[in-house]
A and B are shown apart, each in its own frame.
Chain A
Amino acid sequence: GENVEQHPSTLSVQEGDSAVIKCTYSDSASNYFPWYKQELGKRPQLIIDIRSNVGEKKDQRIAVTLNKTAKHFSLHITETQPEDSAVYFCAASNSGSARQLTFGSGTQLTVLP
């Protein structure tokens, strides 16, 4: 089955700096890669996703890149703000269905004011 590794487990950045979280996956058939954000005491929520036919996707201060050859994908947050502090989870799916999502172990991002 699919295995998703996520690094780092914790990340602290100064407000205004950029943050990068990286994930690798094992199943070359995976074709859908979402990122979820979970604020303290709240539910995980989808913030951005990318499909295997695209190498990069941006949404304001958030971007995701995908390298299918190396089987890794990354989340980039620019101009970080305190409200970006949360746990971020990457995931991979080989069917484009939520039923097949395999999650990474999460990254606790802290943005220091």
Chain B
Amino acid sequence: ETGVTQTPRHLVMGMTNKKSLKCEQHLGHNAMYWYKQSAKKPLELMFVYNFKEQTENNSVPSRFSPECPNSSHLFLHLHTLQPEDSALYLCASSQDGRAEAFFGQGTRLTVV
């Protein structure tokens, strides 16, 4: 499927594990985002990358580490997570200066 693709779709990890989430966009956008979606809570913006440079970090714990090697790829590296970090992690992209965000289908993360 074209657009914004996230892998894996589901991930179960222990609190001592290290894993990475991957996002790829095929839309030619220059801004990419990580959001956290928890049940009955607003979408929480975690990180923003614009032209590969991180422009925002909304007080996210250091156990979440983003990486943006180019304008088409975005990673979220995870280590020593807590059970409360279990959520749907959504990647999105947009063309800077445009308002519409295009979302991936998300990675359902469960921390055990």
A residues bordering B, Cβ < 8 Å? Answer: 4, 6, 9, 32, 34, 36, 41-46, 49, 89, 91, 93, 96-99, 101-106
Contact = CB atoms under 8 A, between A and B. Distances in A.
Contact of A98 (B90, B101, B105, B106): B101
B90 A99 contact: no
Given A93-B99, A97-B99, A105-B42, 8 more contacts: A34-B100, A42-B105, A46-B101, A98-B31, A98-B92, A98-B98, A98-B99, A105-B41
A97 B96 contact: yes
B75 interface: no
B40 A97 contact: no
A43 B103 contact: yes
Interface centre among A45, A93, A98 (most CB of B within 10 A): A98
Contacts of A93: 99
Interface string B40-58: 1111010010100001100
A97 B48 CA distance: 12
Contacts of A104: 42
Contacts of B100: 34, 46, 49, 98
A101 B105 contact: no
Given A97-B97, A99-B55, A106 B104 contact: no
Nearest to A99: B48
Contact of A101 (B4, B41, B96, B101): B101
Contact of B45 (A4, A41, A45, A101): A101
A30 B56 CA distance: 19
Contacts of A9: 40
A43 B94 contact: no
A83 to B, nearest CB: 18
